[in-house]
Amino acid sequence: MATSLAIETRQLSRWFNDFRAVDCLDLAVERGTFYGFLGPNGAGKSTTIKMLTGLLAPSAGEMMVLGHNMLDHQQALAAKRRMGVIPEDLALFDNLSAREYLTFVGRMHLMPRETIRSRSEELLSLLGLADEDKKLTLEFSHGMKKKLAMAAALLPNPDLLFLDEPFEGVDAVTSRVIRDLLAGFVARGSTVFLTSHVLEIVERLCTHVGMIVQGKLVEQNSLEAIRRGASLEDRFLQQAGAHPEATHKLNWLEEAS
């Protein structure tokens, strides 16, 4: 497998009994790119991220992340030290404050205490959580939890970020801050692997896009090549089997008017 790729999979599959959530996926994500991974609900996006980050074992296939074989335990550990993750379920510790949680994450990455402290203060300030230290995470709103998860993912300064719907539930001001942080992250040569249902964000941020439908990768290319002079939404709807020009209405509303 190519070492110039941040992520590469061959025939990566995951099935649950007779259901194939991910079916023979061949991803190729170049280092230093902002990669948008798109698909309808239930298409296999989160399952793919869970496999790539070591949270879920594949049923078949191969996967390399940052040049490490994720099916080898020691190599997988080496890859995890260089990645940040916002998973689908966030996986925060409810009985810690934001600063305590970031301290825990930093120590897990064997970071020096002073580095943890200084980076934590900067991240909490930028993401609007600096004044929330008297609250435990269980008291946070969904948007606040998303912001804390983003801070934890960025804290170790990873080479690769996996972000599963990072903008969901986040206010407009913080959304702008996160977009700026991620753009700077990629500009310095790191890689972002993003899932989002907000196609405007994908068009604004991503350089490359992959589309998955019913567990299968149906398209993968640069953003410009995929759009082909049209909008990303139109192209996505075509690949998802929906007609871009179709209109949808409720008959009973038409009758009521």
Q: Would you place residue 3 in the very low, low, confident or very high pLDDT band (cuts 50, 70, 90)? A: low
Q: What span, in angstroms and rounded, lies between the C-alpha atoms of 205 and 3?
A: 25
**Average per-residue pLDDT in the chain?**
91
pLDDT digits (tens, 9 = 90+) for 157-204: 999 999 998 888 888 998 999 999 999 999 999 999 999 888 988 999
Name residue 19's beta-bridge partners.
16
pLDDT digits (tens, 9 = 90+) for 39-81: 999 999 999 999 999 999 999 999 999 999 999 999 999 999 9
Domains delineated in the chain: 1-82+159-172+185-257 (3.40.50.300), 92-157 (no CATH)
Residue pointed to by tokens 């804390």: 148
pLDDT of residue 257 exceeding 70:
no
pLDDT of amino acid 256: 56
42, 215 Cβ separation under 8 angstroms: no
pLDDT of amino acid 244: 62
53, 64 Cβ separation under 8 angstroms: no
25, 48 Cβ separation under 8 angstroms: yes
Q: Is 72 helix (H, G, I), strand (E, B) or coil?
A: coil
Taking residues 106-134, report their average pLDDT.
Answer: 94
pLDDT of amino acid 123: 96
- Look at 3-7, 35-39, 241-245 and tell me which has the smallest mean pLDDT: 241-245
pLDDT of residue 150 exceeding 80:
yes
Residue pointed to by tokens 């969904």: 142
pLDDT of amino acid 242: 74
Q: What span, in angstroms and rounded, lies between the C-alpha atoms of 57 and 121?
A: 35
